[in-house]
Structure 1
Amino acid sequence: MRFFTLHERPGNGGDVIAVASGFSWAAALVPLLWLLWHRLWLGLAGYVVFSVALGLVTEFGGIADPAAALIALAVGFLIGCMAADFRRWTLARRGWRLAGVVLAGSAAEAEARWLHAPENRRAATARPAGAQPSPAAARPGPADSAFPRLV
C-alpha cells in the first residue's frame, strides 16, 4: 500500500486525481514518455534541452560515451525519485487544490475511498453549483490545513 495525495479540480468539487508517493520506475526508465503521458510540458522541455546539451557535450566536448550514458541514467533516476513531486507541483500550478491524503493499493482505490467517504460525499452534494458557501464552510478545516487528514 502507498500514500496518495488527492487533488481537486478548481471549480468542480467532485473531480479528483490521486498522485502516488514514492519512486516511479516508469519515470526513471522512460522519462520522455512519462513526461508526455502526464503532460508535464515544462519538465519535458527541460529534459529535451538537457538531452540535447548532453549530446552536444558528448560529441564536441570529448566526454566518453559510457560517461554520458552514466549521466543520463543518473538523471533518469532523479526524475524517478521526483516524479510525484513534479506532478503535484504541476497540478498546484494549474489551480488544483490538495484535498487530502489516502493510504490505498492503487490510484483508483484511493480516488474511490476519497469520493465515498461520508464527509466528502456531503461536501460535494450539499450545495448546488455556483452557490456561495456558508460562513461555517468557509472556515479552514482539515482539508485546508498544511497537513490534510488521512482517510
Structure 2
Amino acid sequence: MAERIYLQRPGQDDVVSVATGFSWGALLLGFVWAMSKRMWFATFVMLGVSTILFLSGLWGDTIGTIGLVLSVLFGVACGVYGNQWHRWTLEKRGYVVMQQTGEGK
C-alpha cells in the first residue's frame, strides 16, 4: 500500500493528501488526471505530447508502431512521476508538508 504525504497551506485548515509511488490515474487517464488535480501546466504538456504521438500514428505503419511504443513509455513515465508532480505543484502554491505525529510505533 502506498504511503501518503499530507500537505497544508499555512494558516488554513485545507489539508491535501498526496500518495507516494506509482500513480495509476496518471498512467490511465493522462491529461484528464492532471486537469482533475488542477495541474494546468502538466495538463497542457501531457495533452500536447499525447496529441503529437497520436498524430504520428497516422503517418504510416512504422511510425505508427514507434508512436505506440512512445505513447506507452510516456504513459508509464506519467505514472512514475505523477504524484511527484502533484506534490511539487502544491508546494509551488504555498502548501507545506505536515509533520507526522508518532503513529503506529
Same fold (TM over 0.5): yes
With the shorter chain as reference, the TM-score category is 0.7 to 0.9
In the other structure, the counterpart of 1:7 is 7
Cα gap change, 1:150/1:94 in structure 2, threshold over 3 Å: closer, same or farther? farther
Greater Cα radius of gyration, structure 1 or 2: 1
Which residues in structure 2 correspond to 1:48-87 (within 5 Å)? 48-59=47-58, 63-87=62-86
1:24-47 alpha-carbon deviations (Å, 9 max, x no partner): 112111112211111111101111
CA contact (8 A) 2:21 2:80 kept: yes
Structure 2 distance, partners of 1:89, 1:65, is 34
Which residue of structure 2 lines up, in the alignment, with residue 104 of structure 1?
Answer: none
User: What RMSD over aligned residues (CA atoms) do the two structures have, in Å?
Assistant: 2.2
SS in 2 for 1:64: helix
Q: What secondary structure does 1:39 align onto?
A: coil
After superposition, where does 1:98-109 map in structure 2 within 5 Å?
98-101=97-100
- Unmatched 5+ residue regions in structure 1? 102-148
TM-score using structure 1 length: 0.59
Q: How many residues align?
A: 103
CA distance in structure 1 between the partners assigned to 2:6 and 2:36 by the alignment: 19
Write the distance in 2 (CA, Å) between the matches of 1:25 and 1:150: 29
C-alpha change, 1:11 and 1:68, in structure 2 (3 Å) is same
Alignment of 1:125-136 (within 5 A): none
Residues 101-139 of structure 1 deviation map (CA, whole Å, 9 limit, x = unaligned)? 5xxxxxxxxxxxxxxxxxxxxxxxxxxxxxxxxxxxxxx
Q: Helix, strand or coil for the counterpart of 2:22?
A: coil
1:7–1:100 Cα contact (<8 Å) kept: no
Identity, % of aligned positions: 28
